[in-house]
Amino acid sequence: LGVEIGELRERRGISQSELARRMGVKHPSVVQWETGKAMPAAAKLPKLAEVLGVEIGELFDRASA
């Protein structure tokens, strides 16, 4: 899920800081998501999908691909 978050974020033209702000987390959390060191909390996945402009299922499809 990590690298895909970064790719999706960049496609939307959103900075890591902006994604963190929209998600209500600190910038290091976004860095950890994108490097695969941490996963977003399950409760945050619907908001993450919304901000990145994808369906929530696409986050999982990408993670298992």
pLDDT at 28: 98
Query: How far from 35 is each of 2, 31, CA to CA, in Å?
Result: 5, 6
Q: What pTM value is reported for the model? A: 0.85
Tokens of 50: 């919304």
pLDDT at 56: 87
- 62: nearest Cα among 12, 2, 18: 2
- With a cut of 70, list the residues of the chain below it in pLDDT: 1-3, 60-65
Distance between CA 21 and CA 27 in Å, rounded? 8
